[in-house]
Amino acid sequence: MSIKKYFNSNIISLVLNGIALVAIIVAGYFIYSLSQNNIALKNDMSSTTEILSRRITNLESALATTTLTSQELAQRILDQQNQSNSFQDKISNIAGTVGTLEKLSKTDKELLQKYSKVYFLNDNYVPMSLATIDQRYIWDKTKILQFHNMALTFLNRMLDQAISWNIQLQIVSAYRSFGEQSSLKNDYLVTYGSGANQFSADQGYSEHQLGTTVDLTTEGVKIPLTTNFEDTPSYKWLSENAYRYGFILSYPKNNSYYEYEPWHWRFVGVELATRLYNEKIFFSNMEQRIIDTFLVNIFD
């Protein structure tokens, strides 16, 4: 090999080796730079993750606080609503009580008293309002009979319902004033002597003076006010249905006041009459304090 060729060959080799060395150096630097960037990126990511983690924790804490506050607020709203409802209930109860008292103030307190030998009705007493009974219900068409205006609807309804069942009920006697009762009792005393006290009340003690009591008879009964009335379909119907219209038999068998009077029916209101019927007890045997609780609803 000539010197020239050898020289050229060495130069080329040196150049290639130099290029290779440069390439290695460049590659190494590039790898080093990437490594540093990666480390910096990891550090940045770690820092960012830590920051995000703290923010998430803060947000969760804030959310928990907000939720707690919302729950407290909701509870306070609920408490206020309950207080408001309670207040409204109290107002309603007060209004109801006031309404009841007002209703009672307009209702005759005498209407549910036990008069027969127990409670005296003074000689100046007159029902608050009286109305004339329709002649078609009256046994003696020559008479004009009156009944308590507020209770008349119940009486008419009962008599009309009886007619629909082919039961003919007729009124022999209804409202009687203090004077009329006195005159009637005197007539009975003249005829029956002291025996009249067994079936006729003295003036001031008669339920008829309230205007809420009627004596009833029916077709086929020759003498209207006798115990024979109990043997009629009319009496049977009354016994089973009168309470539905607020009427009770004042003097049933074995009562402690007067002789048995199957014709004598008194209006006491549907609620009380129904209770007496269901419990199979006499009006005269119920405590007056219990009876009084039914007064407010007597015309309902």
Q: What's the pLDDT tens digit per position in 136-184?
A: 999 999 999 999 999 999 999 999 999 999 999 999 999 988 777 556 5
pTM of the full structure = 0.65
Q: What's the pLDDT tens digit per position in 104-122?
A: 788 899 999 987 667 777 7
Percentage of the chain modeled with pLDDT above 70: 62
Q: Cβ neighbours of residue 238 under 8 Å, at least 6 residues apart?
A: 162, 169, 216, 247, 249, 265
* Distances from the Cα of 253 to the Cα of 183, 200, 224, 249, angstroms: 27, 16, 19, 10
Distance of CA 264 to the CA centre of its chain: 35
Q: What's the pLDDT tens digit per position in 232-264?
A: 999 999 999 999 999 999 999 988 777 899 999
294: tokens are 């039914």
Nearest alpha carbon to residue 137 among 167, 168, 170: 170
Q: Please provide the average confidence, as pLDDT, over all residues in the chain.
A: 79
Whether 216 has a pLDDT exceeding 90, the answer reads yes
Indicate the residue type of 158.
M
Nearest alpha carbon to residue 216 among 199, 205, 230, 203: 230
Measured at the CA of 293, the angle between CA 104 and CA 108, to 5 degrees, comes to 35
